[in-house]
Amino acid sequence: MTTPQCYTLDDLVSRETLDAGSAKPARLAVIGCPVAFSASPRMHQPALDADGHHARYIRLEVQPGQVPLAFSRMRALGFIGCNVTVPHKLDALKNCDEVHPDAQVLGAVNTVRFDADATRGFNTDGPGFAHAIQNDFGLPLARLNVAIVGAGGGAGQAIAAQCVLLGAAKLILINRTMEKLGPLVERLATLGFPTEIIPLGFSDGSLARHCRACDLIVNTSSVGLNAGDPSILPADCLLPCHCVYDTIYQPPETPLLMLSQVVGCRRSNGLSMLLHQGALAYQHWFPKTHPLAVMRTALGLAQS
């Protein structure tokens, strides 16, 4: 019997159903919608195997609104924890018993640990992003002018907060729904850092001007995941001096990255962020471990 590429909540009814045909029990997962594209098992399973854990890491498709049920069923089956991807990072924060102060500041949860006494939430997106930008472009976030596209989502909020915490000079927050940016701007202002924060909608006439004044442009939206998606930004927002980072890694060449190549920008996709946030997440489940090298090899990334 072959195991499925992607599981659903219907598979979490019993160990017999979930682990049928598998030599190891599923004890960790990435939850999302869609989640079949996720490369997380590709790096977490080799790390588990290298450390001698008798456990599988699976993809779990969870529909919007079903995060509480997913957490309940995973706890009942003895899961160690899970990673959380689009669109559940804000719901994950709301459904943890305890949230680490760093995750509270970053405004989303992407890593969950099911302890005996509580469901605990963490965020490794922010620091994982900072490591990725340093590794891919040789740039610290300090003093950069950064534009974040899709800033209203869980990843966008975490990255925005990380930029402020690390001393970015200016932050352009771009989102289709402007109402989502108001609470984010207020929360970032309470951090007490001098970063200039400018919220913009896609229809704002100053969008291109503000983007062109940035050093780093980051797409944290889901635009680019699906075939036929347009570039999230038009060409007049980009200059050859820009570094462009798309947190999407599947497909590896999104419309934004293809446009960036035409313009002549330095560019990178989200596989490096996946690596670094994943290694940090693994350490929340298994403290004092060092999975980065194994994960990097599993993802086929060169040593930086």
| Residue 89 annotated to the active site | yes
SS (H, E, C) the chain: CCCCCCEEHHHHHCHHHHCCCCCCCEEEEEEECCCCCCCHHHHHHHHHHHCCCCCEEEEEECCCCCHHHHHHHHHHCCCCEEEECCCCHHHHHHCCCEECHHHHHHCCCCEEEECCCCEEEECCHHHHHHHHHHHHHCCCCCCCEEEEECCCCHHHHHHHHHHHHCCCCEEEEECCCHHHHHHHHHHHHCCCCCCEEEEECCCCCCHHHHHHCCCEEEECCCCCCCCCCCCCCCHHHCCCCCEEEECCCCCCCCHHHHHHHHHCCEEEECHHHHHHHHHHHHHHHCCCCCCHHHHHHHHCCCCC
Q: What's the CA gap between 60 and 91, in Å, rounded? A: 16
- Count CB neighbours of 131 within 10 A: 20
Whole-number Cα distances in Å, 75 to 85, 158, 292: 19, 26, 27
Catalytic residue among 24, 89, 180, 288: 89
- Dihedral of the alpha carbons of 241, 195, 165, 136, in degrees to the nearest 10: 0
Whole-number Cα distances in Å, 114 to 188, 219, 250, 273: 29, 31, 29, 24
Catalytic residues: 89
